[in-house]
Chains A and B, each alone.
Chain A
């Protein structure tokens, strides 16, 4: 695949994302938020966070104390063996902390620790963690992260939540992350990668991995258990790696908090790694694929109609009583649109005379897909691409046999018609694509009829 072809696909994705996000929030949103927060107390700052804000030196001292504490725990005897009664297990002391003040050891297969499962009301159960094996890879599983990091390996754990009572807060796989102490200063928030564990980086279930996997997310009173798999970049083997229970009380960001941490692995060679090999991807191996059917052509191809007349619309006719024109030089098109409307200037690779609307248009915002005002656009499109089966007609536009595609599917953001006017003799592209918001369909049709080529 060439860079140009890659860019084409990426442009499709970027355009889709921008279009999807051209929305406005419901008018009631602010009121509903305020109604909710009016009865909610705010949580006040914990002691270490407060030091962090006002006295960095104290925060550093606290961090140093934390490292010493971690070191002390690391040097303590390991709790190896089957789960023990929390009441007698020295590692089972509840730690409802605001910052990671404790560390535990899970460095050897079979190591077990138990920690309290906490919500805002206190302990609702007990979490038992059992260290599993370090795994070089899983047969048939190509982690996408390996495509970027080059090499990855895995560490398996068994996790169970034994419930003492129901909780309304989430618990399960989503609570976990890992931290790689690459800067060598001990565990801290900067080391945490909120990497999804257990289901593969891209949501792929490891078919050859632990079964069952720890559920992503649970609430209520169900005891749950299953495998948790850390997918780690190979470089992490040079550093301490921690398993982190992310505190649910913190929504993320600068106020990262760990409810509990456990040392998962010290520096040392991995048992093996999964190395990305492009040959692992079927799409990049073997014979070239046959011609794409992604470019769906209409079957049968409809016969062209002799003339095209927009449907009657008094408002649109009134708008077009006075018109103005502009030239889209990129496509050599003269566009006629209502005199009371506006068009855009050029910005980056967005040509002038591409968008039209009743309100003034900002080219930069248009380029970034940030303008919400319903509008009409005429854009260059190089390929025939029909994802669903619209009503397809052949209509004469600007002296050329063109296409009108009419979408009525309720899933479309802007049901209506688009016009594809061939820019060359090839009827299947490239095109000038003229379309617009549903409420401007009558305008679109009239602009189509008046469209002209400047050359």
Chain B
């Protein structure tokens, strides 16, 4: 019998196998959404919830997707306890974005993007983490968020748009980097 079905029957050893198998991707997902500080608590909470609910999982073949969905929901609940400064739509100047770039390892870019990312809503962070971070398709990301594909697309577009608004310079010529410098 596979580990999921054994764990559904209450087999702790089988569940431990599942934890070891899924801990890393789940931890990455939680880190992407809520940040490294709280990711461990989120993942532990998700696994605990999964253990309790596992007997009610109708389709054991979909354990991975189900677990991912639990994690996303826990992240969302967690973020709702945190006051997130909203992204203002009054930012401007989206015409002055960089032309193109590959910043996959750009250390300095993290300092600019990070604060903006942390101001996104839980739903927006989730879709970015699922789609870009885990490399899931839009359909898979929608599944993990328990929404329709169209909704996932909308959230992705909204997230990217919100980031463009924040990344872009203000009409007075100041940018996020300037704001950071001014606040220090």
> Are A and B a genuine interacting pair, yes or no?
yes
Whether B121 sits at the interface, judged by CB under 8 Å, is yes
Cα of A134 to Cα of B41 in the assembled complex, Å: 39
User: Cβ of B134: which chain A residues have Cβ within 8 Å of it?
Assistant: 21
Pairs A–B under 8 Å by Cβ, sample size 17: A4-B99, A21-B31, A24-B27, A33-B19, A33-B48, A43-B55, A144-B158, A174-B77, A203-B86, A204-B86, A283-B93, A283-B94, A289-B168, A291-B96, A388-B108, A418-B107, A433-B105
Chain A 245-267 per-residue mask, 1 if CB under 8 angstroms from chain B, else 0: 00001111111100000000000
In the complex, the answer to whether B95 meets A194 with C-beta atoms within 8 Å is no
Measured between beta carbons, the chain A residues less than 8 angstroms from B121 are 196, 201-203
Residues of A within 8 A of B145 (CB): 194
User: Which of A44-52, A100-108, A124-132, A318-326 faces chain B?
Assistant: A44-52
Closest 6 CB pairs of A and B: A289-B93, A387-B112, A387-B111, A292-B96, A25-B27, A148-B154
Q: Which residue of A lies closest to B172 (CB)?
A: A290
Q: Is the beta-carbon distance between A9 and B55 smaller than 8 angstroms? A: no
- Give every chain B residue within 8 A of A201 (Cβ-Cβ): 121, 123, 158
- A294 adjacent to B147 (CB under 8 Å): no
Check: A185 CB closer than 8 A to any chain B CB.
no
Asked whether A16 lies within 8 Å of B101 as measured between CB atoms, the reply is no
Pairwise interchain contact B169-A294, C-beta atoms closer than 8 A: yes
The answer to whether A8 and B132 touch across the interface, beta carbons within 8 angstroms, is no
Give 5 A-B pairs besides A44-B55, A414-B107 with Cβ atoms closer than 8 angstroms.
Answer: A14-B132, A196-B121, A202-B162, A283-B91, A379-B103
**Which listed residue, B10, B36, B164, B180, touches A42 by the CB 8 Å rule?**
B10
Give the residues in chain B near A15, CB-CB below 8 Å.
102-104, 106, 109, 113
Contact A293 B174 (CB under 8 A): yes
- The residue in chain A whose Cβ has the minimal distance to the Cβ of B174 is A293
A412 located at the interface, meaning its Cβ lies under 8 Å from any Cβ of chain B in the complex: yes
Q: Digitize B105-135: 1 where CB-to-A-CB distance is under 8 Å, 0 elsewhere.
A: 1111111111001001111100011001111
- What residues of A have a CB within 8 angstroms of the CB of B138 in the complex? none
A387-427 CB contact bits vs B (8 Å, 1 = yes)?
11110000000000000010101011111101000000000
How many chain B residues sit at the interface, stated as a range, is 35 or more
Determine if A306 is an interface residue (Cβ-Cβ < 8 Å).
Answer: no
- State in angstroms the CA–CA spacing of A117 and B19 once bound together: 33
Q: Are B49 and A251 in contact (CB under 8 A)?
A: yes
Query: Which residues from chain B contact A26 at a C-beta distance below 8 Å?
Result: 40
With A24-B24, A385-B103 already in contact, the answer to whether A45 and B48 are too (CB < 8 A) is no
B87 surroundings in chain A (CB, below 8 A): 202-204
Is B135 within 8 A of A148, CB to CB?
A: no
| Residues in B whose Cβ lies below 8 Å from that of A41 | 52
In angstroms, Cα B104 to Cα A293, docked, is 22
For residue A286, CB closer than 8 A to chain B, the reply is: yes
**CB 8 Å contact bits of B9-24 with A (1 = contact, 0 = none):** 0101001100110011
Cβ-closest chain B residue relative to A412 = B107
Q: Are A17 and B80 in contact (CB under 8 A)?
A: no
The CA of A411 and the CA of B72, in the complex, are separated in Å by 25
Interface string of A1-28 (1 = CB under 8 A from B): 1001111111111111111111111100
Select from chain B the residue with minimum beta-carbon distance to A25.
B27
Pick the residue among B53, B114, B157, B181 that contacts A250 (CB under 8 A).
B53
The answer to whether the Cβ of A75 comes within 8 Å of any Cβ in the partner chain is no
- Residue numbers of A with Cβ under 8 A of B are 1, 4-26, 29-30, 32-34, 36-38, 40-46, 49, 52-53, 142, 144-145, 147-149, 170, 173-174, 192-194, 196, 200-205, 216-217, 249-256, 280-284, 286, 288-296, 368-370, 377, 379-383, 385-390, 405, 407, 409, 411-416, 418, 433, 435-436
User: Min CB distance, A407 to chain B, in Å?
Assistant: 5
CA distance A315 to B151 in the complex (A): 52
Residue in A45, A369, A386 whose beta carbon sits within 8 Å of that of B133 in the complex: A369
Q: Most chain-B CB neighbours within 10 Å: which of A142, A205, A370? A: A370
Bound Cα distance from A294 to B165, whole angstroms: 12
- Identify which of B65, B95, B108, B157 contacts A147 (C-beta below 8 A): B157
User: For A436, what are the chain B residues with a Cβ–Cβ distance below 8 Å?
Assistant: 105
Residue of A nearest to B72 (CB): A252
Q: Which residues of A contact B43 (CB under 8 A)?
A: 25, 29, 33
Contacts of B176 in A (CB 8 A): 294, 387
Contacting residues, chain A, for B157 (C-beta < 8 A): 147-148
CA distance A145 to B152 in the complex (A): 11
CA of A204 to CA of B120 in the docked complex: distance in angstroms?
10
- Contact at A12–B103, with CB atoms within 8 Å? yes
Interface 0/1 of B46-68, CB less than 8 Å to A:
11111111111111001001100
Which one of B55, B98, B113, B133 has the greatest number of beta carbons of chain A within 10 Å? Answer: B98
- Interface flag for B38 (CB, 8 Å): no
CB distance from A424 to the nearest CB of B (A): 13
CB distance from B126 to the nearest CB of A (A): 11
With both beta carbons as reference points, the residue of chain B lying nearest to A189 in the complex is identified as: B146
| A residues near B149, Cβ cutoff 8 Å | none
CA distance A412 to B109 in the complex (A): 10
Contact B147 A23 (CB under 8 A): no
Are A45 and B100 in contact, with the CB atoms below 8 A? no
